[in-house]
Amino acid sequence: MNSGGLLGKAGMDGKMALGYLGVMIFMVGEGLEMGWLSAYLIESGLTVQQSALLFSIYGFAVAIAAWLSGVLAEILGVRKAMLIGVAMFATGTVIFLTAGIPSMNLGVMIPTYSLRGLGYPLFAYSFLVWITYYAPQEKLGTAVGWFWVSFAGGLNVLGAYYSSFALPYLGEVNTLWSALIFTLLGTTIAILLNNNKSSSQSKQFNTKADALKYVAKGVTIAFENPKIGLGGIVRTINTAAAYGLVVFLPTYMMDLGFTRTEWLQIYGALWTSNVIFNLIFGIVGDKLGWRNTIMWFGGVGCSITFLALFYVPTFVGANYWATTFAAILFGACLAAYVPLSALIPSLSPENKGAAMSILNLGAGLSTFIGPVIVGLLIGTVGTAGIVWIFAGLHLFSAFLMKYVTLPKSENKEIAERLKAAQ
């Protein structure tokens, strides 16, 4: 990796920059429907329960693909795994739009929308595996920070803003069709224009049985190296509250007196902050230590700021700026978990893909676990109880990080590289 020039100062080179840009554009296509598709499907004939079922199974498909992405990237090569993801996403989108939505038949909608969900983790997380191999160890936190800037920037920020402009002109179905433009453009930039031979390389296996054993290693490595398993649990907790809050917090905020537009702006500020701090905490992690950053800014920080996001408007009423500030703080602390993507693969340098599979599984499971916690418990503990459960989980993740440590020799080597790079 060439460290000179403007890109070098930003912690990347031209190959990485093309990849980041491609991932961001691809994720716009994936994220453009997040804020409105469920409501549209309910208006078009589905019940709330049917819509919830569709998105729950979709979330499970995301989790499975996220888990497989690490090992498949090493078995097939990163580029091939990414292309398979694109093919799945495009195929699922086309059938979902031509046969699923017109019929509102769950028998068609569930498998095709789930196929779409299988596609994007293979594309994005396979690229993340390549980053963990390609980026220098002393800059790995910064490198994965840039990845999450690209990922969240496309998924949570640009996708939502694009839809707000596109829906009035294109309508819901045509806006969904336009997702293919973003995904194909992102693919072109990240893969076809990024002429990088190392992204085509794969692990060499003597037999198919050996390859299948490596797929299994995407599970067994969590037991062979319990620190990696703990990292997967921490990653699940990381965004569980963020995915769970969309189920109950918007209604609560509007009951307090916020308008729908105000809430959407508060929510947008949360994720805009997260995108910015993904990079900042990647750099901070390289300087202060990956584990300490995750433990204190991530676990403890998220616990405090998530409570603030709930209690600030509860006590002061529909104060837009105070609540926005609390949301910005929570989004920033969510980003402090970013160094996990540097720390966990460093625990198993010879099997980074398998280690990343555990981490990616946690990322996928959070999209499923967050809403499930809300659905199962809100009737019993209420809104405040759910908030305290998520705050407690973040504190628990900080406790778990006490045990996720690099070997002393690895810590010493990284410290020496950091000193030499300064």
Q: How buried is residue 124: exposed, middle or buried, by Cβ count under 10 Å (0-12/13-18/19+)?
A: buried
**Phi–psi pair at 319, nearest 5 degrees:** -90, 105
pLDDT in tens, the chain (422 residues): 555 566 666 667 778 888 999 999 999 999 888 767 877 888 898 886 788 788 878 888 988 898 888 888 878 888 899 999 999 999 999 999 999 999 999 999 999 999 999 999 999 988 988 888 888 877 888 888 899 889 988 988 888 788 888 888 999 999 999 999 999 999 999 887 555 555 455 555 555 566 667 677 777 888 889 999 999 999 999 999 998 887 788 888 888 998 877 887 888 889 999 989 988 998 899 889 999 999 999 999 999 999 999 999 999 999 999 999 999 999 999 999 999 988 998 898 888 878 888 988 898 888 888 888 888 888 889 999 999 999 999 999 999 999 998 876 555 555 555 444 44
Same-fold call for 11-204 versus 224-422:
yes
Alpha-carbon dihedral 399, 307, 385, 401, rounded to 10 degrees: -10
| Residue-range domain boundaries for the chain | 11-204, 224-422
Long-range contacts of 86-89 (CB under 8 A, 24+ apart): 86/26, 86/119, 86/123, 86/183, 86/184, 86/187, 87/119, 88/115, 88/116, 88/118, 88/119, 88/122, 89/29, 89/30, 89/115, 89/116, 89/118, 89/119, 89/120, 89/123, 89/183
Q: Provide the b/e sequence for 46-77 (b: ≥16 CB within 10 Å).
A: beeebbbebbbbbbbbbbbbbbbbbbbbbbbb
Homologous superfamily of 11-204 in CATH? MFS general substrate transporter like domains (1.20.1250.20)
Output the CA–CA distances (angstroms, integers) from residue 138 to 4, 11, 132, 256, in the order listed.
16, 10, 11, 47
For the domain made up of 224-422, the CATH class stated in words is: mainly alpha
Of the candidates 83, 64, 176, 178, the residue with the CA atom closest to the CA atom of residue 124 = 83
Q: Is the pTM of this model over 0.85?
A: no
Give the integer Cα–Cα distance in Å for 274 and 334: 7
